[in-house]
Structure 1
Amino acid sequence: MSELRGWKLVCAGVALSSMLLAGCATVDESASQDTSGSSGGGEVAQRINGAGSSFVAPFMDSVAGQLAQEEGIEVNYQSIGSSGGREQFIQKTVAFGASDEPMSDEEMQEAGGNPLHIAAVGGAVVPVYNLEGVESGLNFTGEVLADIYLGNITRWNDPAIAELNPDAQLPDAKIAVVHRSDGSGTTNIWTSYLAAVSPKWESGPGAGGEIKWPTGIGGDGNEGVAGLVKQTPNSIGYVGLEYAVQNDLTYGNVGEQGAFVEPSVESARAAIAAVGDEIPEDLRFTVSSANPQGEGVYPITGLTWVLVRQQMDDLAQCKAVARTAWYLTHEGQELAPDLNYVPLPENIVSRDEELIRSMEAEGQKCYTE
């Protein structure tokens, strides 16, 4: 990187299975259209900037390292939360955004260029807790989780929790509720499920990435929530499965009485498969909002999208974004299970391919095989 002026140091703090990526990414906030190393004649840009979902950050960081080695494209990704990623994408301060909450129609109109939702990976959002003496996974129904986050259930030995966990030694301790403080796609997946199973939640806080929380304290990003739960006795929070595993947090099972499902790559994959027919052509669908059911189906599951424009201004930039999206949805899928993400099913990959192939700039196609 020859130019350092205007670059911002951004720390992701993400631990991967093979190494600790607690480092930082530098992001050029003064020039989102970075075509360094490319000519104006349609060569592929060597660097692109992206921002958004903290849920997907470990996957993005891992794929970016492999992409740089194999394709020579450097992806600088900021883990700033899905809302921030959508906003930077709309403002064109990054080449692509990443979000676990689909763009609204209004956001898509503001962004211009016919925004596309390229599904990058799937994953589970899990209830994590810090409860001394309770190391095995507790069972939760959606209604119990909703009542905890509504402030209706305030102690760990409440009969509603105890009934679901007759063998657990639940303390008579106040529940410290932890939620996201920033606009969050992880929150969208979590609250979409709560709204689907709890009329009180649906008519109260509702579903979405930014809501008015009835109770609790906020953490910034999946990283922040995981850190707060880890350091706060008697706490409960929600994070992507990958963060629970990497931070050695205890996480619970979710379902109905007698049919609780442990979150895993397999049970989250089953959830995506269970709602396959409901996913529209533009892929803008929150899986958890359908409360997917079935044996071995973990319901609090969602997709992360890479947000790109079907019509871009700069061909070199567009080629780099298209190649990155293709790599994420193909070679990158091999990395997903080891990082506790769900590889995309074939029907979604096929739709991704159609969307990526439709990308254009300067009158030319951006992805060519």
Structure 2
Amino acid sequence: MKIFKISQFAFAAMLLAETALISCGGNNTKSGSDSSSKPAEAAASTTDANTLLGAGSTFVYPLFSKMFAEYNKETGIKVNYQSIGSGGGILQLTNKTIDFGDSDAPLNDDQTKKIGAEVLHIPMCAGAVVISYNLPDLKSTLKLDPEVLANIFLGKITKWDDAAIAKINPGVKLPSTGIFIAHRSDGSGTTNIFTTYLSKVSADWNTKPGKGSAINWPVGLGGKGNEGVAGLIKQTPGAIGYIELAYAIQNKMTFADLKNKSGNYITPTVASTSAAGNIAIPADAKVSLSNTDAKDGYPISGFTWAMIYKEQNYSGRTKDRAEKVIKLLWWNTHEGQKLCNDLNYAPLSPAAVAVAEKILKSATFDGKAIQQ
């Protein structure tokens, strides 16, 4: 058994090193309807008035890729979206090298201060963060409750056949395999959704390590983006990690049913994510969907937001470019919503669409509303 544990962790370390090398080489950045993989900083110098630049969340990348391809067919406008993580998107927005960022977490106080201007948060859709695991011999779907999940990621539960896991999975033959934790290595809105949930349900987690887009993980190894974490899980027996539902389904990965606040074990689906998102939406759209009160709602759900400067006349931008950005995001929150279900995202509720409309209509150029 000791030999297996050593080889397992050595393999994971080698995989992580390989991922890091690829990442450093700059070849793993994905773009949307533009096939270019050049960094957003370089792309920002483009003079093409018909190409808009975005960067950020990997959580929403599968949906954005489809949305922007369809938008290009309908309008001729290209969108070069760099899937570099929410933290990267916020940095690019701060540096004014893109037209819009996307994040699965609203700007925090420090980020808002660094930007130094009002930023609008426009909800794009809701998604589920699933708890995926690699236990090839397990025939039934694993059930997890908030306490067990928190203790696994705190490093307090280290074996899959631990009594606490067995108690909520009666009759299931659990392996004695050691648990390997996979988490994000980059600043991530997916991490923010996950750790915000853990902070709500676990006093130990809330005290330390707490919530955020980047935290000091008690245990485990990190992968870059949802893709990196999915890769670690798929290639490491005994692994567990958190990824967006679309990535899990596309990669044919198994994921757990999770006990919600109402005491029901919920399978993450578009329907259970929609149930979590069917709530009152504040005027600024900044709301957490995790640990939902909805009896049929999946508890680790969250919005992803496109982010733009409220005043669009900055850094030599033209009014035409500002109008194109607003039209794109309006299309995303209206016609583009029909693409959500097939890609395992929850469309915006009518209430969320109404809030998104008001936010987009508040964007200005020289102080005058862009969208009438």
- Shorter-chain TM-score tier: 0.7 to 0.9
Counterpart of 1:32? 44
Deviation at 1:364, TM superposition (A): 4.4
Counterpart of 2:5? none
Counterpart of 2:6? none
1:73 aligns with 2:85: no
Deviation at 1:267, TM superposition (A): 0.4
TM-score for both structures, normalised by structure 1: 0.88
| 1:171/1:31 CA distance change after superposition, 3 Å | closer
Counterpart of 2:16? none
1:259 aligns with 2:277: no
Contact 2:67 2:339 in 1 (8 A): yes
C-alpha distance in 2 between matches for 1:24 and 1:175: 38
1:232 aligns with 2:250: no
- 1:270-285 superposed matches below 5 A: 270-273=275-278, 276-277=279-280, 279-285=281-287
Q: CA-atom RMSD, angstroms?
A: 2.0
1:11 aligns with 2:11: no
- The superposition leaves residues 169-194 of structure 1 with CA deviations (integer Å, 9 ceiling, x where unpaired) of 11011001110111110011111111
Contact 2:31 2:37 in 1 (8 A): no
1:302 aligns with 2:278: no
Contact 2:40 2:92 in 1 (8 A): no
Deviation at 1:366, TM superposition (A): 2.6
Q: Secondary structure at the match of 2:123?
A: strand
C-alpha distance in 2 between matches for 1:195 and 1:26: 37
| 1:180/1:341 CA distance change after superposition, 3 Å | same
Moved more, 350-359 or 249-258: 249-258
Counterpart of 1:320? 324
| 1:24/1:169 CA distance change after superposition, 3 Å | farther
C-alpha distance in 2 between matches for 1:150 and 1:13: 35
Moved more, 346-355 or 239-248: 346-355
Moved more, 184-193 or 100-109: 100-109
- The superposition leaves residues 92-114 of structure 1 with CA deviations (integer Å, 9 ceiling, x where unpaired) of 11111000011013322332442
Counterpart of 1:124? 128
Paired letter, 1:282: D
C-alpha distance in 1 between matches for 2:293 and 2:267: 13
Paired letter, 1:303: F
- Whichever structure has more strand as a proportion of its residues is 1
C-alpha distance in 2 between matches for 1:105 and 1:324: 28
Specify which of 238, 245, 252 is matched with residue 248 of structure 1: 252
Counterpart of 2:361? 357
C-alpha distance in 1 between matches for 2:58 and 2:327: 22
C-alpha distance in 1 between matches for 2:115 and 2:45: 15
Counterpart of 1:168? 172
- 1:89-168 superposed matches below 5 A: 89-168=93-172
Paired letter, 1:91: N
Contact 1:32 1:48 in 2 (8 A): no
Aligned residues, how many? 341
Counterpart of 2:274? 269
Q: Secondary structure at the match of 2:101?
A: strand
1:202 aligns with 2:206: yes
Contact 2:93 2:99 in 1 (8 A): yes
C-alpha distance in 1 between matches for 2:178 and 2:366: 60
| 1:233/1:10 CA distance change after superposition, 3 Å | closer
C-alpha distance in 2 between matches for 1:136 and 1:32: 48
Q: Secondary structure at the match of 1:189?
A: helix
TM-score for both structures, normalised by structure 2: 0.87
Structure 1 residue runs of 4 or more that deviate by more than 4 Å after TM superposition: none
Paired letter, 1:268: T
Q: Secondary structure at the match of 1:308?
A: strand
Q: Secondary structure at the match of 1:190?
A: helix
- 1:215-226 superposed matches below 5 A: 215-226=219-230
C-alpha distance in 2 between matches for 1:363 and 1:10: 39
Q: Secondary structure at the match of 1:11?
A: coil
Paired letter, 1:181: S
Paired letter, 2:287: F
Gaps of 5+ in 1: 1-7, 15-20, 37-44
Counterpart of 1:213? 217
C-alpha distance in 2 between matches for 1:150 and 1:326: 41
Deviation at 1:327, TM superposition (A): 1.1
Deviation at 1:9, TM superposition (A): 6.0
C-alpha distance in 1 between matches for 2:347 and 2:147: 29
Q: Secondary structure at the match of 1:76?
A: strand
Counterpart of 2:59? 55
Counterpart of 1:5? none
Deviation at 1:166, TM superposition (A): 1.1
Paired letter, 2:294: G
| 1:13/1:73 CA distance change after superposition, 3 Å | closer
Q: Secondary structure at the match of 2:304?
A: strand
